[in-house]
Amino acid sequence: MSDHASASSADAGVQEDLACTLLSKHFGDFTAVDGVSFSIPRGSFFSILGPSGCGKTTLLRMLAGFQQPDSGDILIKGQSVLNTPPNKRPVNMVFQHLALFPTMSVAENIAYGLKRKGVPKREHATLIDEVLAKVHLPGYGDKRIDQLSGGQKQRVAIARCLVLNPAVLLLDEPLGALDLKLREQMKIELKRLQREFNTTFVYITHDQSEALVMSDQVAVMNKGQFEQVGTPQELYYQPKTAFVAGFVGDSNQYAGKVQSQSGDAVTIVTEQGVRLLSHANQPLLAGAPVTLFVRPEVMQISTSRPATEQDNCLAVTVSRVLFDGAQSRVQVETAEGAELTVALPQTADFQALEPGRSVHVSWQASQCLCFVAPADTKPLGTQ
């Protein structure tokens, strides 16, 4: 596709397809997007992950041009698009409910953007066939939209955008409406399409698994701000804020107070009075309120006291077993009444585990994290 080639050679100097600086948007008193800055390297899969109401949809709609930011700038291939109306921006969007045109066939849907761009009619058929082949729907051009399955509709919605060779493809939680199995397939499929077209994808979702599986970079968004931007691994293993630690992956969370600190290791007493050792990123004052995060899978479960010395080792009672195949967990309780959820390895050792049994759980201090309790979590992001 000649169009694509010329576009990329024209601004070869710019490394980012999309960049935003201090973007803000208010609705009355409510701040939807609060001074967000980021830049996305060419050809990468970038996800914005956040709970509903965090401002991610507003951010995406500003990128598409359906909403004007109150301040800040949006640069696409190095050029500000603030004064470009949505129909002239080199970005395309896959809508949450896809917004395929039901009055048109698949081919007409795909041709819609080509017509608006003024691509000569004789080229349409070839372009449509090409893009349909790439999304694995060859020969579907004449189908009506209501004849397609959910997954096929997804592909058409993506094809309709990609045929235009956008600088950036925006995706607004397009997998939300699919059932679980299909969603798993589409995650892999989307990643494949992104590699194949080598287009920058900006994907917003509240589903952490979608973001982690597909993305090169993930931004975790909360209350209109980016809490952390990083690779999926960084977010999972080195969360920089309590919010990220809590939102990405499952964690046992405990509120507690700092008792003492030596180097990286802090001793914390939880509200229930359990003494735990944790890793900390920063100096903490004794007595400071903190939240402690322990992932279920870092905890070792054993029927007897572990032979090697562990930083944290608790004698607990099993309160219930949550069997879920490879994701099985067990909920246990300490003598003080603190509850923990622990990953349950599906090995023969633990098959007989039942409520009321006494077991030990242990983990190293370096495998858990603590953050100063919510009221002043902000400065942590910049340490």
Classify burial at 4, counting beta carbons within 10 Å of its beta carbon; exposed 0-12, middle 13-18, buried 19 or more.
middle
Q: Which is nearer to another protein, 156 or 219 (CB)?
A: 156
Quick one: tokens of 187?
């995650």
Burial code of 304-335, b = ≥16 C-beta within 10 A, e = fewer? eeeeeebbbbbebebeebeeeeeeebbbbbbe
Which 8-state DSSP code applies to residue 48? E
321, β-bridge pairs:
330
Distance from C-alpha of 380 to C-alpha of 282, rounded to nearest angstrom: 8
Classify burial at 354, counting beta carbons within 10 Å of its beta carbon; exposed 0-12, middle 13-18, buried 19 or more.
exposed
**Nearest distance, CB of residue 7 and another protein, angstroms:** 15
Ramachandran region, residue 249 (left: φ > 0; alpha: ψ -120 to 50; beta: rest): left
Residues 127-146 within binding reach of another protein (CB under 8 A): 142, 144
Q: Which of 10, 116, 133, 283 binds another protein (CB under 8 A)?
A: 116
Q: How many helices and strands (H and E) does the chain possess? A: 9, 20
**Nearest distance, CB of residue 66 and another protein, angstroms:** 6
Query: Is residue 210 helix, strand or coil?
Result: helix
Q: Which of 112, 250, 272, 364 binds another protein (CB under 8 A)?
A: 112
Q: Is 99 in the site for another protein (CB under 8 A)?
A: yes
Q: Is 295 in the site for another protein (CB under 8 A)?
A: no
Q: Which of 8, 39, 96, 231 binds another protein (CB under 8 A)?
A: 96
Distance from C-alpha of 22 to C-alpha of 37, rounded to nearest angstrom: 5
With a CB cutoff of 8 Å and minimum separation 6, the contacts of 307 are none
**Nearest distance, CB of residue 339 and another protein, angstroms:** 40
Q: Is 275 in the site for another protein (CB under 8 A)?
A: no
Residues 72-91 within binding reach of another protein (CB under 8 A): 82-88, 91
Q: With CB under 8 A, what is the number of residues at the site for another protein?
A: 31
Strands 16-27 and 71-76: antiparallel
Q: Which is nearer to another protein, 168 or 229 (CB)?
A: 168
**Nearest distance, CB of residue 80 and another protein, angstroms:** 11
Residues 4-63 within binding reach of another protein (CB under 8 A): none
Q: Is 64 in the site for another protein (CB under 8 A)?
A: yes
Tokens 């701040």 locate to 31
**Nearest distance, CB of residue 173 and another protein, angstroms:** 12
Q: Which of 4, 35, 95, 129 binds another protein (CB under 8 A)?
A: 95
Q: Is 160 in the site for another protein (CB under 8 A)?
A: yes
Residues that bind another protein (CB under 8 A): 64, 66, 68, 82-88, 91-93, 95-97, 99-104, 112-113, 116-117, 142, 144, 160-161, 164
